[in-house]
Structure 1
Amino acid sequence: MEAEDFWLEYVDARGELHEGPFEVMWSAPFEAARQVRAFPSYRGQRSFPGWYWAATGAELVGYESWVELGQLMRLDCDPGVVAMASQPFRLSWRSDGRNRRISHTPDYFVRRRDGTGVVLDVRPDDRIEPEDAVMFEVTAAACARVGWSFERVGVLDPVLAANLRWLSGYRHPRVRRDPVAEELRAAFARPRGLLAGACAVGDPIAVLPVLFHLLWCGELAVDLEAGLLSAATQVSPVSVVAEEVGGDAGTSEAAVAG
Structure 2
Amino acid sequence: MDAGALRVRYITSEGQEQETSLASVDGSHVARGLPVRIPPSYVGQSNYPGLFWSATNAGHVWYESLLELAWLWLADFDPHVRRIAAQPFELTGRDGERDRTRFPDFLVIDEHQEVRVIDVKLERMLDKPDVRASLNWTGHALGARGWPYEVWSGAHPTILRNVRLLAAARRPNIVPDSAVDSVVASCPATGTSLGELERSARATATTATPRIVVFAALWRGQLVCDLRAPINARTLVSAA
CA distance in 2, matches of 1:187, 1:201: 9
Q: Secondary structure at the match of 1:68?
A: helix
Q: Distance in 2 between matches of 1:163 and 1:2?
A: 42
Q: Per-residue displacement from partner, 1:194-245 (whole Å, max 9, x unpaired)? A: 01111123169721111111111111111212x110111011100xxxxxxx
Contact 1:159–1:228 (CA<8 Å) still a contact in 2?
A: yes
TM-score w.r.t. length of structure 2: 0.92
Q: 2:113 aligns with which of 112, 115, 134?
A: 115
What letter matches 2:198 in structure 1? A
Runs of 4+ in 1 over 6 A off after TM superposition: none
Task: Say which of 104, 117, 120 aligns to 2:102.
Answer: 104
- Corresponding residue number in structure 2 for 1:242: none
Letter of the aligned partner of 1:161 in structure 2? L
| Deviation string, structure 1 residues 99-136 (Cα, Å, up to 9, x no partner) | x4211101000000011110001112112221111121
Cα deviation per residue 1:145-199 (whole Å; 9 max; x = unaligned)? 2221111111221101111111112210122222321220122133110011111
Aligned to 1:229: 231
1:218 maps to 2:216: no
**CA pair 182-20 structure 1, distance change in 2 beyond 3 A:** closer
Find the aligned partners of 2:230 and 2:157 in 1 and give their Cα distance: 10
Q: Does the 8 A contact of 1:67 with 1:156 survive in 2?
A: no
Structure 1 or 2: more helix by fraction: 1
Aligned letter for 2:161?
A
Q: Match of 1:160? A: 159
1:1-258 → structure 2 map (5 Å cutoff): 1-27=1-27, 29-96=29-96, 98=97, 100-128=98-126, 129-190=128-189, 191-202=191-202, 206-225=209-228, 227-238=229-240
Alpha-carbon RMSD = 1.6
Aligned to 1:169, the other structure's residue is in SS state helix
Contact 1:90–1:105 (CA under 8 A) maintained in structure 2: yes
Residues matched between the structures, number: 235
Structure 1 unaligned segments of length 5 or more: list them: 239-258
What is the alpha-carbon distance in structure 2 between the residues aligned to residue 14 and residue 81 of structure 1?
Answer: 23
Pairwise CA distance, 1:13: 0.5
TM-score, normalised via structure 1 length: 0.86
* 8 Å Cα contact 2:6/2:91 also seen in 1: yes
Q: Could you tell me which amino acid in structure 2 is paired with residue 101 of structure 1?
A: D
Relative to structure 1, the CA distance from residue 85 to residue 117 in structure 2 (aligned partners, 3 Å threshold; closer, same or farther) is same
Aligned-partner SS, 1:37 = coil
Amino acid at match of 1:82: R
Q: Which amino acid aligns with 1:105?
A: F
Percent identity for Structure 1 against Structure 2: 29
Distance in 2 between residues matched to 1:180 and 1:26, nearest whole Å:
39
Shift of 1:4: 4.3
**Larger relative contact order (CA 8 Å, sep ≥ 6):** 2
Give the residue type in structure 2 aligned to 1:182.
Answer: D
Partners of 2:38 and 2:62 within 8 A in 1:
no
Shift in CA distance, 153/27, structure 1 to aligned 2, threshold 3 Å: closer
